[in-house]
Amino acid sequence: MPSRTMRDAERHLAGLTRVAAFLFLISASATPLAAQIGALKKKAKAAAGITPAAQPSAQPAAAGTGGTLVLDDEVIKRLIKGFHAAKAEREAAAKSDTPYGRYIQQEAAYKAAKPKCDAASQTWPQRLSANQGLMEKNGRYLEMMMAAQQKQDTAAQRAWGDSMLMAVDASCAVKEPQQPPGYYDSRRDVDARAEEAQLKAADMDRRELGATVDRAIAILENAPPPDVSPSEKNAVERQKDELNRLMGREPPPAPAAAPPPTPAPAAAPPAAAGSGLTDRQQAAAECMAKNAKKNEAEIERLGEGVRKAAESGDNGAAMAIADSIRQIQSAGCPSL
């Protein structure tokens, strides 16, 4: 097989450089771990759906009296029952067709898709390097996206960017959701229902529940208040695994080993004064931009289909829907 000419080699290297720059832009930074005691306590209170309460001296384990309850086995069972009731209410709300439910479902789809996209992005340069035709096509997509950016045509820029992402892997089309209108009101309704269910199941009022959670957390953190009795410590200890799980206090998984450092991607060459496209490419870009604007609602609908298919692991269906999006975008446009 004849070797590449010097020009082919330079074009090949330039294509890899652009791909590296693109992947650098879409990569997300890792979120730092936080396991401080104060943060865990705050998380447990959030799981309970309550606000901090004052802690008067302990009272007998009678329901609804407004005092701090003695943490015997019966009170701990009521506390656990309340946590389960709140959890069930939130899980049901997450499946509902409400602003809160839709956002939670989309967030779950994004969290499931992101590791797949990240893994595919790691091998994307190698896959491009092994397929000159794919590299040239991806390079044209990148040129179109940059040209749209220069013209401040956000619809076309988004369309070309999505085409590049879907070429990497169908999971890359699943974008991090934005909280929709009405989300906060919907979430407040869920919080109120979860709190009501928890209080009813635990047979406590808000003050009792807050004080009981505070007291249990203090024992779990080996920092009990002076008036805690040995029997209370034993009651909490017997249920510590379930209490930690329900209050979100499970220890975080060990962090993965950091990958070896990689060289920073080379900067893309500065853009020329013009778009850098041939007349045919310019005509195709303008045509696809018009199609994207004209069919924006349909493209958004199909994009949701791509996200759902990627969430279920059906990459074949996701790619088929992605092809439908490309056909809508390129209908009647000059071939590239």
pLDDT tens figures, 242-294: 998 988 876 555 555 555 554 444 444 443 334 444 566 566 666 766 777 77
48: pLDDT confidence band, cut at 50, 70 and 90?
A: low
Helical spans, DSSP H, in the chain: 6-26, 37-48, 73-94, 99-129, 132-150, 154-168, 183-202, 206-220, 230-238, 240-246, 279-294, 296-311, 315-330
Sequence-distant (6+) residues with CB within 8 A of 259 are none
Average model confidence (pLDDT) across the chain? 73
For residues 66-79, average pLDDT: 85
Banded pLDDT at 65 (limits 50, 70, 90): very low
Which is higher by pLDDT, 269 or 100?
Answer: 100
Count of residues in the chain: 336
pLDDT of residue 307: 65
Place of tokens 């009501």: 196
Which residues, at least 6 apart from 333, have a Cβ–Cβ distance to it below 8 Å? 283, 284, 287, 288, 291
pLDDT, average across residues 228-241: 92
Has residue 335 got a pLDDT over 70? Answer: no
Supply the pLDDT for residue 89.
95
Angstrom CA distances, 7 to 12, 14, 154, stand at 8, 10, 33
Which range has highest mean pLDDT (179-193, 255-269, 310-324)? 179-193
Question: pLDDT band at residue 64, thresholds of 50, 70 and 90?
Answer: very low
pLDDT of the residue at 112:
87
312 or 50: which carries more pLDDT confidence? 312
Q: What's the pLDDT at 4?
A: 47
Say if residues 82 and 49 touch (Cβ distance below 8 Å).
no
Of the pLDDT bands very low, low, confident and very high (cuts 50, 70, 90), residue 2 is very low
Q: What is the mean pLDDT of residues 155-172?
A: 79
> Residue 140: is its pLDDT beyond 50?
yes
Between 58 and 92, name the one with better pLDDT: 92
Q: Closest Cα to residue 249, out of 227, 222, 231, 225? A: 222
Arithmetic mean of pLDDT, 214-240: 91
pLDDT of residue 284: 62
Q: pLDDT higher for 3 or 334?
A: 334
